[in-house]
Structure 1
């Protein structure tokens, strides 16, 4: 039996975050299919509204583990790595800005699709779905940046003691 999990990182803390990225990417793939549906021609207003509410439900389910994952990074990982590389410039600044950008797109989508909100045209519905699509795109690039820049940096720079402490703090469920 092979123990190969397909994970790239060797330290437990980075493996936890990488594995969470895998799970979140899987969930994103499910709702991104719904986003792409809105790109087709000849969508009826009623069907568009119904599909948008389904998309909203999927994103509502998605943001629970996303928020838990992001909180782990913001509360434990970034402050620790920042002690090694600084907080004023560099990759942590951009990564944290992306967290805010993702929250903005998802928040905008949820605001415009809230119960009682009546989207009055197919174009209004498509515009709302585009916010979800933008969140997907930013998240996809964000995960790549973390896994190609920030996580390898942490594996290299963090002391064995800090890696062990971080692993203990990150070893919680996001579901």
Structure 2
């Protein structure tokens, strides 16, 4: 059921990014349920497990484009604008960019190891491969929290309106295209 979303940030630029986080979290919940089912061995047989694993691959594959579009917007527009005020060589922006790479690594690792024929894998192998998707989920959740509680409020405190207005225009594109 849809609930009215409450934004933590005050300015339009970070509200765009925060709204994207909410959409990405919605998509993540769809595939994370499958990860949890494997972690808790909730499948009655291998046929069900293979079908679930195939669905996990499809959902993660569909998740990649909006995630990539979101992180590209942050790296191309948001981080450079904020770095004019707080720097980029160390501190929160550098840490957040490293997390982008870590998330890509976990998802890439999942796809690399699961590229074979599902009929060849045991249940334990399928379960083990889902751990990378689970790690990506955990890093993403913490990543969103850091951005929303550290970076976004920082924008409200330090950025000038004259720099926020063009940033809003740069961030206005959809991540689902």
Whether TM-score is above 0.5 comes out as yes
Which runs of 4 or more aligned residues in structure 1 lie more than 6 Å from their structure 2 counterparts after TM superposition?
none
What is aligned with 1:26?
26
What is aligned with 1:6?
6
Give the Å deviation of 1:128. 1.0
TM-score between both structures, scaled by the size of structure 2: 0.91
Q: Deviations over 1:36-70 (max 9, x none)?
A: 11023374333322211100100111111100000
1-structure distance, mates of 2:93, 2:120:
38
1-structure distance, mates of 2:76, 2:33:
32
Q: Deviations over 1:14-52 (max 9, x none)?
A: 110000000001111111111111023374333322211
2-structure distance, mates of 1:42, 1:74:
39
For 1:44-59, list aligned pairs within 5 A. Answer: 44-59=45-60
Give the Å deviation of 1:147. 0.2
SS of the residue 2:39 aligns to: coil
1-structure distance, mates of 2:23, 2:102:
21
1-structure distance, mates of 2:144, 2:42:
34
More displaced 10-residue stretch of structure 1: 78-87 or 16-25: 78-87
Uncovered stretches (5+) of structure 1, i.e. residues with no partner: none
Give the Å deviation of 1:11. 0.7
TM-score between both structures, scaled by the size of structure 1: 0.92
For 1:1-175, list aligned pairs within 5 A. Answer: 5-41=5-41, 43=43, 44-114=45-115, 116=117, 119-175=120-176
Uncovered stretches (5+) of structure 2, i.e. residues with no partner: none
2-structure distance, mates of 1:42, 1:7:
36
Q: Decide whether the 8 Å contact of 2:16 with 2:171 is kept in 1.
A: yes
Q: Decide whether the 8 Å contact of 1:119 with 1:125 is kept in 2.
A: no
SS of the residue 1:38 aligns to: helix
